[in-house]
Amino acid sequence: MAGGAKIWIEAARPKTLPAAVIPVLVGTAFAQAAHAADLVKAAVCLAFSLLVQIGTNFANDYFDFVQGADTAERVGPRRAVAAGLVTPRTMLFATVLVLAAAFAVGLLLVAEGGWILLPVGVVSIVCAIAYTGGPYPLGYNGLGDLFVFIFFGLVAVGATFYVQVHAVTWPVLTAAAAVGLLAANILVANNYRDVETDAKAGKRTLVVRFGRRFAFWQYALSALAALLSAPALLLAGWRWPVLLPLVLFPWGVRLTHRLGRSADPREQIEVLADTAKFLAAFGVLLSAGVIWGAR
């Protein structure tokens, strides 16, 4: 693979991309259960979600460097701008290009789902930049977790379902909340590792504000609440296959314990990667359960 392409793939942070893929999968599974799935519309939703995620990651790479969060003291996967692999100007241009592409794709969703989706798409793109940029960066003021929960949970799952079915239901929002909590856990694991360097850079994440013990319980309770969405769907009328995600409970316990015990940054990087895998497994099992368990 050409060196340049490898750098950009790394900058896109592929290990975080389940946060963009799984919401579309889950939303489409609910659409299939409603006998209204449209794979073309789902593909457009996936393209939009991936572009927003990658644009967010590019913006994070740029703004964290500019604001001094990515320093030589930081431990974790290398960042393209901080490592000198990409100039700040080039990364900013790439961010704008990717988010412009997301906007163009989003217009296709507006054509299919109506004008109600336009402000949703615009706010999603604006927040991709505002996550680490702008006058009040969300990630620097303890709002990053909320951003991920809303946009990679409620909005992504709900909009995917809405585009195909033209409605939103409480079971869909229940599953969307579960996906959002697990997506936010990826950020928790990341910020857990970076707490010292974030504090020095003035990045007031929830872990910096309230400590690692708070982050441990946030991670644990989010994982538990996400898994409890399965029996909630059972009570809402789905049949037993919707309980498939519960097989992940032992893995969730092990991941939570690993996060709490981790002191080695390399172990914390592995927990981050496994948290993304946990989200992926949850999304696949939940989607299968929703389709097989539909009445």
CATH number at residue 105: 1.10.600
Say what the pTM is. Answer: 0.92
Whole-number Cα distances in Å, 68 to 107, 129, 207, 268: 35, 17, 18, 22
**Residue 1 in domain:** no
Distance CA 151, CA 179 (A): 10
Res 153: pLDDT: 95
- DSSP code for 152: I
2, with CB counted inside 10 A (0-12, 13-18, 19+), is: exposed
Percent of the chain residues topping a pLDDT of 90: 69
Distance CA 271, CA 110 (A): 37
| Token pair in block for residue 47 | 């393209």
Res 166: pLDDT: 93
What are 240-245's contacts with CB under 8 Å, separation 24+?
A: 240/293, 241/288, 241/289, 241/292, 241/293, 242/286, 242/289, 242/290, 242/293, 243/289, 244/285, 244/286, 244/288, 244/289, 245/282, 245/285, 245/286, 245/289
Res 67: pLDDT: 79
Torsion-angle region of 35 (φ positive above 0: left; ψ -120 to 50: alpha; else: beta)? left
Q: Are 21 and 46 in contact (CB under 8 A)?
A: yes
**Residue 205 in domain:** yes
Res 73: pLDDT: 60
Distance CA 21, CA 10 (A): 17
**Residue 2 in domain:** no
**Residue 292: strand, helix, or coil:** helix
CA-angle at 55, arms to 53 and 58, nearest 5°: 110
**Residue 153 in domain:** yes
**Residue 260 in domain:** yes
Structural domain of residue 130, as residue ranges? 7-292
Distance CA 192, CA 194 (A): 6
Tally of domains in the chain: 1
**Residue 190 in domain:** yes
Distance CA 283, CA 94 (A): 30
Q: Are 180 and 152 in contact (CB under 8 A)?
A: yes
Distance CA 207, CA 205 (A): 5
Q: Are 198 and 191 in contact (CB under 8 A)?
A: yes
Structure-derived torsion over alpha carbons of residues 36, 38, 39, 41, reported in degrees to the nearest 10: -130
**Residue 213 in domain:** yes
Q: Which of 78-92, 94-108, 246-260 has the lowest mean pLDDT?
A: 78-92
pLDDT tens digits, residue range 126-156? 998 988 888 888 888 899 999 999 999 999 9
pLDDT tens digits, residue range 260-272? 998 777 788 899 9
**Residue 165 in domain:** yes
Res 1: pLDDT: 38
Q: Which of 24-28, 30-34, 70-74, 245-249 has the lowest mean pLDDT?
A: 70-74
Instruction: Give residue 83's Cα distance to chain centre.
Output: 24
Res 74: pLDDT: 60
